[in-house]
Structure 1
Amino acid sequence: MFIVTIIYFLIGLLASTIGAIAGLGGGIIIKPVLDGIGTYDVATIGILSAATVFSMASVSLLKAARSGMKIQGKSSFLLAIGSISGGIIGKYLFAFLISSMDNQKMITVIQASILAILMFIIFLFVRHRERIRTYELKNELVIFLVGFILGTVASFLGIGGGPLNMAILAFAFSMNVRESAINSIFIIFFSQLSSLAMTAFTTGFAIYDLSMLGYMVAGGVIGGFIGSSFISKISNRQIDRIFIFSLMGIILLNVYNIIRNLM
């Protein structure tokens, strides 16, 4: 039992550290890792991931505020509101998928396939970003709708939205990698808060096996502190490399989960 708790603590710690540095959030790592371990069902994994990522985002934002890092207030706030709204829809879509399919493995395959494709598209965008025209959106409705789509997809996949946020912030608002990272964490904070609140007011938490939650949240808090400390000390190029290598690892993890659950 001790070894198991250490493993789950380390998952929360490592995912949150990388997530805080690169703006990934951590959920995009936690989700496929827990799918690969196979101990919990997809709904429970969503709760464990959301709580861990929320704790990481809380610590990261506090640390960023103290170090003087700024959020692009209006745009990120509108994206966050849109993400919260979309997150509600994504949650319902996920609940519908679970209720309409008895095969948990097939649900994992569907999510892993969508994740792998999305991560590959984002990988290509990051690798060729200098050749791609970026924008600076000003229309409030369009910004809200972008956040809505991000929230829907992230909630349905149970990932928190980190890489999607990073890519959209770079593409739609011409943010550099450091600006994208902190603004991504800001959006993730609200999206995960709404996800947890929605669960609390609908099904509640009693139906889930959350025995490892405390260890993962502890890892999320420490990881958020470590990651947010590093982000102010390393260059944009280094953050970019961490982001790219993380994407490659996430793609491989999801391909493994697809093959594992189809065999």
Structure 2
Amino acid sequence: MGGGVIIKPVLDFAGHYDLATIGVLSASTVFAMSSVSLVKARTMEVNIDIKVSSLIAVGSIIGGFFGKGVFNFFVVNLQLNNIIGVIQSSMLALVLLAILIYFRWSGLFKNYIIKKSAVILTAGLVLGFLSAFLGIGGGPLNVAVLALLFSMSGRESVINSTFIIFFSQLAALLLVTFTTGFDGMDLSMLWYMIIGGIVGGFIGSNLLFRVSDKVIAIIFNVTVLIVLLINLYNVITYI
């Protein structure tokens, strides 16, 4: 499902942190989780299209810088926290709805095999932008888009999605480091979140092979629905 899709709205729902702090907490946790996933992915026997993966990675870096830059401009410089909060929660609710529809009725969608470098780069850029601007990583969204546009297998989609998350969140964190900095942010929970995210990832990976596909589908759909409702609640609170 992707940790950031859950972390960002839940932190919004808790109401203990401002948007800038939530962005850093979520980005740092997701970045750490994606780093571990990339290390684990080295043991997977998957043939990766170097050209496609490289262009997606480059696009996600550019998109990550741009997405976080837009976020910082409106939140840090213009102090439009509530407006951006509404936009983020609304966009995330739409993303979750699209994910729910796609994975529920994936057989109804036609998959493509796009080879044009400009389109591949643009796909990475857009996904990287959304990942950094929303602070979500974007795992299931990335997987769905990669499967639709490039007909990637499940494993290929997961690995390339991890590339997007890793590079976009790295770009976002670097931008914060060298521009606004971390002064005034309450990051006391950061290491707990990172450790929890990594440990939870290992537990989830092990449980994946011990439950049936039916149970996984039920957990996935229920989780998406709950997080979707949380985002709708967040939209109301920001308004």
2:144 aligns with: 167
Q: Compared with structure 1, are the counterparts of its residues 232 and 173 closer, same or farther at alpha carbon in structure 2 (3 Å cutoff)?
A: farther
Instruction: Please give the alpha-carbon distance, in whole angstroms, between the structure 2 residues aligned to 1:183 and 1:235.
Output: 25
Q: Compared with structure 1, are the counterparts of its residues 179 and 227 closer, same or farther at alpha carbon in structure 2 (3 Å cutoff)?
A: farther
Query: Structure 1: which 5+ residue stretches go unaligned?
Result: 1-21
2:166 aligns with: 189
Displacement of 1:247: 2.4
Residue 212 in 1 paired to residue 189 in 2? yes
2:228 aligns with: 251
2:5 aligns with: 28
Displacement of 1:154: 2.0
Question: May I ask how many residue pairs the two structures share in their alignment?
Answer: 239
2:27 aligns with: 50
Moved more, 31-40 or 124-133: 124-133
Q: Compared with structure 1, are the counterparts of its residues 231 and 188 closer, same or farther at alpha carbon in structure 2 (3 Å cutoff)?
A: farther
Displacement of 1:227: 3.3
2:199 aligns with: 222
Q: TM-score, normalised by structure 2?
A: 0.88
2:92 aligns with: 115
CA contact (8 A) 2:46 2:155 kept: no
Residue 95 in 1 paired to residue 101 in 2? no
Instruction: Please give the alpha-carbon distance, in whole angstroms, between the structure 1 residues aligned to 2:155 and 2:208.
Output: 8
Moved more, 64-73 or 93-102: 64-73
Displacement of 1:243: 4.1
Displacement of 1:228: 3.8
Moved more, 221-230 or 83-92: 221-230
CA contact (8 A) 1:97 1:107 kept: yes
Letter paired with 2:187: L
Query: Structure 2: which 5+ residue stretches go unaligned?
Result: none
1:180 aligns with: 157
Residue 201 in 1 paired to residue 178 in 2? yes
CA contact (8 A) 2:90 2:231 kept: yes
Letter paired with 1:109: V
Instruction: Please give the alpha-carbon distance, in whole angstroms, between the structure 1 residues aligned to 2:125 and 2:211.
Output: 32
**Residues 216-246 of structure 1 deviation map (CA, whole Å, 9 limit, x = unaligned):** 1111221233334455667777665554333
Instruction: Please give the alpha-carbon distance, in whole angstroms, between the structure 2 residues aligned to 1:240 and 1:45.
Output: 29
CA contact (8 A) 2:128 2:165 kept: no
Q: Compared with structure 1, are the counterparts of its residues 229 and 81 closer, same or farther at alpha carbon in structure 2 (3 Å cutoff)?
A: farther
Displacement of 1:255: 0.8
Q: Compared with structure 1, are the counterparts of its residues 112 and 128 closer, same or farther at alpha carbon in structure 2 (3 Å cutoff)?
A: same
Aligned to 1:66, the other structure's residue is in SS state coil
CA contact (8 A) 1:81 1:144 kept: yes
CA contact (8 A) 2:59 2:122 kept: yes
Instruction: Please give the alpha-carbon distance, in whole angstroms, between the structure 1 residues aligned to 2:36 and 2:173.
Output: 17
**Residues 180-216 of structure 1 deviation map (CA, whole Å, 9 limit, x = unaligned):** 2333123211211221122222222234211111111
Displacement of 1:51: 0.8
Displacement of 1:149: 1.1
Match of 1:129 among 90, 102, 106: 106
Q: Compared with structure 1, are the counterparts of its residues 67 and 86 closer, same or farther at alpha carbon in structure 2 (3 Å cutoff)?
A: closer
